[in-house]
Amino acid sequence: MSDYVQTDPVQAPAAEGTSSYAPANGSAPGLRFSRYFSKPGVNPFDEVQWELRDAVIQDWKGRLVFEQKNVEVPTDWSVTATNIVASKYLHGQVGTPEREKGVRDLISRVAESIRDWGLRDGYFASHEDADIFFNELTHLLVNQKVAFNSPVWFNVGCDRLEPNSDAQNWHWDAQQGKVLFSVTGYSRPQCSACFINSVNDSLDSILTLAKTEGMLFKWGSGAGSNLSAIRGSMETLSGGGTASGPLSFMRGFDAFAGVIKSGGKTRRAAKMVVLNIEHPDIEDFIECKVKEERKAWTLMAAGYDGSGPDSEAFTSIFFQNANNSVRVNDEFMQAVVNDGIFTTLTVKDKAPVKEYKARDLMHKLAEATWQCGDPGMQYDTTINRWHTSKNTARINASNPCSEYMFLDDSACNLASFNLMKFLTPGGQFDVPAYRHGIAIVTTAMEIIVDAAGYPTEMIAKNSHDYRPLGLGYANLGALLMDRGLPYDSDAGRAYAATLTAILCGDAYAQSARLAASSPTLGAATPLTVSNGVHGGACPGFYVNREPFLNVIRMHRAEVNNIDRELKPAHDSAYTDAAGFIAPQLADLKAASQDAWDTALALGEQHGYRNSQVTVLAPTGTIGFMMDCDTTGIEPDLALVKYKKLVGGGMIKIVNNTVPGALFKLGYSDSEVQGIVNYIDATGTIEGAPSLKPEHLAVFDCSFKPAKGTRTISWLGHVKMMAATQPFLSGAISKTVNLPNDCTVQDIADAYTESWRLGLKAVAIYRDGSKGTQPLNVSAQTDADKKGTAVDATKVDATELTAALSALSTEQQKAFALEQQLVAVQTQLNELANSANNNADNLDAQAPPRAVRHRLPGERASITHKFGIGGHEGYITVGLYPNGQPGEIFIRMAKEGSTISGLMDSFATAISLALQHGVPLKVLCEKFAHTRFEPSGWTGNEQIGYAKSIMDYLFRWMQLRFLSGQQLDLFAGLGAPVQSALPSAGSVISTEARALAGAVERPAFGTTAAYGDQSISATDPWHNAPGEPLHTDRNPPQQGIAPDLSARSGTATPNPLSVEDRGIMGVHAATEMGKLYEMGDSPSCSTCGAIMTRNGSCYRCMECGSTSGCS
């Protein structure tokens, strides 16, 4: 038991974050705080070292997206954290006196505002307690131990900087004891990231929902709704006629979200649409995204751009701006298990509409998920079983990421801890610090509730009456690896469960302390309470006392189900080297029991200030702010990442959790160094010297490395969610990853197992599903052989897919390649036409025709072997005397005559284009990043993941033959090699080109010039004998390359200019994405970098933008 948690809330002396619970004359005493992190008379900011940095973000072409010079940041904050905070959260116009100067200004604005609100609303026993609270909160924030959700950073305290804002909203007025609507500006800021909106079966309600969502998107929040109250498309209207159905209105909602996505103030729109399984339109809902995406594929086959969600093809279709989820009950899931019948019902009178075999409906759902990643699934019976406010209403929907699930017309403000920041220097998890932080942050989030503004009257009322909070954490995956615990193991799950149990139990305990020590809250909505509202608990508690306490008891009982043994599954060497893990797990178990015992005891006496307290959010942007290695509950994505450096550029690093885990597993210094260097060289730990096979599972990640075979199974993801779900008020935002070759039945099994294990919701992602296109067939019949072509767009994709299922995997791959090349020919036609020298196609008004420049009879050439997703091939590039490419030949191994013919034709068209003067740059820009199968990892470390053969070939030619900025759009990272590259107009001998080609990134183990210095190609992670291991806890910090002064005695290189930083560092995100990028990842709408999956959303590794709501 910690020293600040009381066992006797009435008689025990006030301790950390608590008050004495015998208020005189019924008055609220306020909370009393003592110091744990801060020191008397010492400003927490003064305990941190600071420096000035330039925050710079460029787009994929190296163009400046954002720049702010001399941003004040703590020295141990990364460059990424600096860029994200400066570009997203600092308030005011850049270059004006009103602009915030850095992290000190930002945290002061937020923490001071919360402290002042707490004083105004009676939360503190004294001004001294308020100041202690402020210092403790400031310490947590500036040391990256916790972060609030983005709207808090966007809006809180901005009334000091922008006092004349005319923003209007609904808010609680304590003096009048009711919700009011008025012009409040930033004095009543929107602070919640998550909203759930209601909708009724009336046009007025439907249109109101569109307005409400639009305003939420404008201010940087996400919203979800359940549309099951809208009558089905075959139901009758009272005035005659037939209802439109929810999908018709979804088109309108989708259009608004798309508009605001591109024009919103702070972020892309995040939206969730839910429909109940018994709704008569459920089949159309399940298939709506698949059908729309088929239209996009047809447009792409016709030559329209389909490279991302903002491309022509995808902006021309519906349902692309929301996550869809089907809400199922136990009745349906039991029917699936028993192969029973399930009946859909009318909305108005619950009359039967259609009978389905439950497994058929599940198969349709799984098939849609297999094809496009939607819909997900929410388990209605489980959700409402754990509902604290059952007497008020059911839970019908969630926020876009599915972690916040509560009443309709409600909001939740989020905050997340960085678990790695609670490790002591000795490697122990600091349980007292963690529990103290929970008390501080829960108080801060509670203070925000009534100080904030809300978009509608009902959301403002429910926020006041029920006061849900969303406290969570990030960096769990990194913490488990650092502990030497496999993510997919009983010990790993037990560790995560105890941390989650402590989080939720202590948050509820603090909520009960708040109820005992804070002023009584008048109800915003008339409540039917037998004994009236007579304390500081939320008004909703008095309506739901028994169901509320029953849920708390359910949480408490689940603590006993955490693995009783809690023994790490390692060998004796591990136990000897890291024996502290097992005792610590036992300590965590004891702390979680204490937390829930306290929460129940205090709640039974005083009630709770908050109806919900915890969720596990994806922590997209705030994860960058806290320099988290992993987000939310997710495991690590890869063992190798790229880290930005001050002054620009990046360095390749092995995760700092890897050596930490290896030491805990009992490996020696030399063994650890050898393993880390092996990972650096290969990108995988498989086959590393000295590594024991039984330890491989510790280093498993979400995605299989390019040169490895191991990854965390979908069941491993589901089991981790199941281990933590019993200790959360809400749910978990997480995507369960399945491999590209999984079956529809695999996805159905994952949905069923998630229900069996007690999850509230699950989103499943099949690797590459967004990139899967129907085969655009130009079928050959007898008539075709006579010259009559069949229109590819008229072939039914469903029938074709069914027919292809009988083919072997290799036949399918070959057939897919053949048909996708047909679509590529459309783009080639444009280029070929521009290079055509047929005089009949010219007229007097046209520009002069291009002249063909043939290559000499004898010419040098370069042949390059490549492999993509199991398909191998060769490209030979013929060179002009000046070393520039003038023709290409492509040969695919084992692909058959049809594909060989198509590739020959493609190569001929490109060769003609080159010989007629079409710049290689134009061709590369046209064909790089085109998407179709086969796609996959390549053996080329400079390219990594290729979205198609065309993508690989043109990115390779870009690397090989173009210099300067164009090269670095796709180049590998590391030290600059521009000084070694030829200028665009230079002439290189034919012999030199033939033997070595244009200068590339140096091969492994060689050196490249950098100014007057030389650096290893494996630098900065090639460790010379006797040198310390490089991890991201001690990376080189100077300039754009490692500090070589200690190694060579030479001066540190000068930082690059902003323009050069754009050239070398513009694709941190794309390069990091090579390690774990999936084929469907969209490009960032802000900077153009390739995004990566984050829970059920995406986030940009370059600028921090997210498609979610945290």
CATH number at residue 360: 3.20.70.20
In a domain, 882, yes or no: yes
pLDDT of residue 646: 63
Catalytic: 628?
no
Task: Give the model's confidence band at 897: pLDDT under 50 very low, under 70 low, under 90 confident, else very high.
Answer: low
If phi > 0 it is left, if psi is from -120 to 50 it is alpha, else beta; for residue 397 that is beta
In a domain, 548, yes or no: yes
**Domain membership flag for residue 730:** no
**How many domains is the chain partitioned into structurally?**
3
Within a domain: 494: yes
Alpha helices in 265-413 (DSSP H): 282-301, 312-315, 330-338, 358-372, 380-385
pLDDT at res. 1030? 37
Residue 179 contacts residue 163 (beta carbons within 8 Å): no
Token pair listed for 240:
């005659």
If you write DSSP's letter for every residue of 999-1042 in order, what string do you get? --SPPTT-EEEETTEEEETTTTS-PPTTPPPPBTTS---STTS-
CA 600 – CA 414 distance, rounded (Å): 23
Residue 401: active-site member: yes
Same domain, 162 and 215: no
Residues for the chain: how many in total? 1110
Q: What are phi and psi of 524, to 5 degrees?
A: -80, -30
Same domain, 827 and 934: yes
**Is 399 in the active site?**
yes
Q: Which pLDDT score is estimated for 740? A: 84
Region 794-813 average pLDDT: 42
φ and ψ of 834, to 5 deg: -70, -25
Report the 10 Å Cβ neighbour count for 812.
Answer: 16
User: How high is the pLDDT of residue 1101?
Assistant: 66
Peptide bond into 848 cis (omega under 30): no
What's the pLDDT at 15? 38
What is the DSSP-derived secondary structure letter of residue 409?
S
Q: Rounded distance, CA 614 to CA 617, Å? A: 9
Of the candidates 100, 213, 403, 1077, the residue annotated as catalytic is 403
Catalytic residue among 399, 418, 462, 940: 399
Same domain for 317 and 410? no
766-783 pLDDT tens trace: 887 765 332 222 233 333
Q: What is the pLDDT of residues 638-651, one digit of tens each?
A: 898 777 666 666 66
Q: Return d(Cα 1059, Cα 1062) in angstroms, integer.
A: 5
In whole angstroms, give the CA distance from residue 720 to residue 633. 8
**Per-residue pLDDT tens digits for 420-469:** 999 998 888 999 999 999 999 999 999 999 999 999 999 999 999 999 99
pLDDT of res. 1093: 66
For position 1084, what pLDDT does the model report? 66
Say if CB 501 and CB 596 are below 8 A apart: yes
Q: For residue 111, what are the domain limits?
A: 24-168+399-625
Query: Which pLDDT belongs to residue 989?
Result: 32
C-beta of residue 481 within 8 angstroms of C-beta of residue 702? no
Instruction: Catalytic residue, from 158, 372, 401, 742: name it.
Output: 401
Distance CA 260, CA 254 (A): 10
Residue ending a domain, choose from 569, 603, 625: 625
Q: Which of 34, 17, 37 is nearest to 142 (CA)?
A: 37
Q: Which has more confidence, 1083 or 472?
A: 472
Yes or no: say if 112 and 157 are a contact pair by the CB < 8 Å rule.
Answer: yes
Q: 609 with 514: CB under 8 angstroms?
A: yes
Question: 142: which residues sit within 8 A by CB, 6+ positions away?
Answer: 44, 45, 48, 74, 103, 104, 107
Whole-prediction pTM value? Answer: 0.74
| Whether residue 910 is found in the same domain as residue 1031 | yes
User: Has residue 937 been placed in a domain?
Assistant: yes
| Same domain flag for 446 and 324 | no
Instruction: Tell me, yes or no, whether 1093 lies in a domain.
Output: no
Give the confidence band of 980 by pLDDT, cuts at 50, 70, 90. very low
Q: 314 with 207, same domain?
A: yes
Judge if 240 and 320 occupy the same domain. yes
Q: Are residues 107 and 208 in the same domain?
A: no
Residues 6+ apart with CB under 8 A from 182: 168, 171
Maximum Cα–Cα distance for the chain, whole Å?
104
- Name the 3-class secondary structure at 269: coil
In a shared domain, residues 299 and 338: yes
Question: Among 354, 385, 416, where does a domain finish?
Answer: 385
Query: Could you give the CA distance from residue 432 to residue 5 in angstroms, rounded to a whole number?
Result: 10
Go through 850-885 and write b for each residue having 16 or more CB atoms within 10 A of its CB, e for each that does not: beeeebeeeebbbeeebbbbebebebebbbbeebbb
Place of tokens 């089949």: 283
- Residue of higher predicted confidence among 707 and 26: 707
Residue 782 counted as domain residue: no
848 pLDDT above the threshold of 70 = no
Which pLDDT score, from 0 to 100, does residue 770 have?
66
One domain for residues 424 and 295: no
Contact of 832 with 913, CB cutoff 8 Å = yes
Q: Are 163 and 234 members of one domain?
A: no
Residue 737 lies in a domain: no
Domain boundary among 361, 385, 409: 385
968 and 877, same structural domain?
yes
Q: To the nearest whole number, what is the mean pLDDT of the chain?
A: 79
